[in-house]
Structure 1
């Protein structure tokens, strides 16, 4: 997501400043994840971060501002956690298994992400859409690359990408947030069987 001039002006200029900003974002994740956007407060964020109220306004203008930054940051965290694991895939179909597996792992360690992203639909529609549209775009690129290597039978379409993302989102909710007792590897393996039989190269005539 592009930054405005004001957001760039508030970007940390030192390592210490970056640590403070990261602490505020982590505290905001806790505050909004526990209380929601409307009940969460700037004072609650600074208290959790262990910093002065003035430090908040060094990097953010409003509660909306830090929430918007948090949505973009959490989306980036998911991307950065999943990408190196997908890079280890045997092929394009295995990449989707590893994508779901790593997302389940991430969701289990960051259960607040669902409440934060869901509230973004009503607090910041642009950030909400960007989260899902950018995720689906990355999946589509992976599928297209797999098709070029002959690993995917169907001609990759945006519908395939959104379908896979949709499965991952709700599986993360069911087996990451609501109940994380079932082995993530088992869940990812079952879903990968569906994907392989649906768009795998073996399905081509």
Structure 2
């Protein structure tokens, strides 16, 4: 995960109010962390700016130094969480050799992140209705990163060629779907099973499919 001292998502975090000082960046970080707690517990509609600032240990007037509204901080939070996932997973793939082991490592890293940030599911799910553009961007950018990894692995001969043009993108969305629901079941609902056990089973599925050995179509 990215350093907690600064926002992680790309672009303008606060509607033209991006802080220029270290103190301002710490304050913005505190607001985003507090918003994650508030939206994660209460949901968008029941969340309150006053409780966000209270959680952050800030005066309510300070909120408007960075955000114009509850909707604005929610949008910034979705982008920030998306950036945190990226920054948590990416370094854990460094040095992993082979396309399939890399996707297994990606699954494990995502599960580890979810277990630390279970609120991400409620926030991302609500963004489909509160801010559909950020919701779509979150998944599209994730799929782009997976697609790039698969294309590189295929070029190195580490995974099979796709069955049709554009196969890497289809595969990427399929793998992302697996990861999302593994995170929900074994990260949010129940984290009692070890990540290693989950990814061993899911990794075998990714590597070998469902067909009996020697009878793959």
Match of 1:88, SS?
Answer: coil
Cα separation, 2, equivalents of 1:203 and 1:59: 58
Q: CA deviation at 1:203?
A: 10
Which residue matches 1:127?
134
In the other structure, the counterpart of 2:193 is 182
1: CA distance, partners of 2:71 / 2:98 = 41
Q: For residues 21 and 215 of structure 2, what CA distance do their matches in structure 1 show?
A: 54
- Whether the 8 Å CA contact 2:88–2:113 is kept in 1: the answer is yes
Partner of 1:116: 123
Indicate the residue corresponding to 1:32 in structure 2.
Answer: 39
The answer to whether the Cα contact below 8 Å between 2:100 and 2:158 also exists between their aligned partners in 1 is yes
- What is the TM-score of this pair, normalised by structure 1? 0.93
**CA contact under 8 A between 2:39 and 2:47: conserved in structure 1?**
yes
Alpha-carbon offset, residue 108 of structure 1: 0.3
| Structure 2 CA distance for aligned equivalents of residues 24 and 170 of structure 1 | 29
Aligned residues: 200
Report the equivalent of 2:207: 196
Shift of 1:140: 0.5
CA contact (8 A) 2:32 2:77 kept: yes
Which residue of the partner structure matches residue 21 of structure 1?
28
The answer to whether the 8 Å contact 1:197/1:203 transfers is no
For residues 98 and 215 of structure 2, the distance between their equivalents in structure 1, rounded to whole angstroms, comes to 15
Q: Does 1:149 align with 2:141?
A: no
SS of 1:40 mapped into structure 2 = coil
Q: Give the deviation of 1:157 after TM superposition.
A: 2.4
Deviations 1:130-156 (A, max 9, x none): 000110111000000000100011324
Give structure 2 stretches of 5+ with no counterpart: 1-9
1:87 offset after TM fit, Å? 1.5
2:179 matched residue in structure 1: 168
Give the conservation status (yes or no) of the 8 Å contact 1:37–1:119. Answer: yes
Question: Alpha carbon RMSD of aligned pairs, Å?
Answer: 1.9
Q: What TM-score comes out, normalization by structure 2 length? A: 0.88
Pick aligned residue for 1:100 from 104, 107, 110: 107
**Is the Cα–Cα contact under 8 Å of residues 147 and 171 in structure 2 kept in the other structure?**
yes
Residue 53, structure 1, aligned to residue 60, structure 2? yes
